[in-house]
Structure 1
Amino acid sequence: MIEAGCTAEGIAASLGIDRPTLYRRCETDNKVLFTTFSQQKRAKGDDLLRMKQFDAAMKGDKTMLVWLGKQRLGQAEKSENQLTVNKIEVEFIES
Structure 2
Amino acid sequence: MVATKAKAAKPAARRGGPGRPKKEISASEVEKLAKMGATHEEMAGFFGVSTDTIARRLKDDESIRAAYEAGFSDLRISLRRYQITAARNGNAAILIWLGKQLLGQSDSPEVASDDTQPLVIEFDGEDGDDD
TM class by smaller structure: 0.5 to 0.7
- TM-score, normalised to structure 2, is 0.46
Q: Give yes or no for the alignment of 1:2 onto 2:34.
A: yes
Matches within 5 A, 1:1-95: 1-15=33-47, 17-18=48-49, 33-79=63-109
Shift in Å, 1:79: 5.0
CA–CA separation in structure 1 for the residues paired with 2:97 and 2:70: 26
| Structure 2: stretches of 5+ with no match in the other structure | 1-32, 111-131
Amino acid at match of 1:7: T
Shift in Å, 1:7: 2.8
| Identity of matched residues, % | 28
Count of residues paired in the alignment? 71
Secondary structure of 2:34 counterpart: coil
Amino acid at match of 1:42: F
The alignment yields a C-alpha RMSD, in angstroms, of 2.5
User: Residues 40-89 of structure 1: CA distance to partner in whole angstroms, max 9, x if unpaired?
Assistant: 00000010001001100000000000000010001112358xxxxxxxxx
Amino acid at match of 2:42: G
CA–CA separation in structure 2 for the residues paired with 1:40 and 1:79: 38
Larger Rg: 2
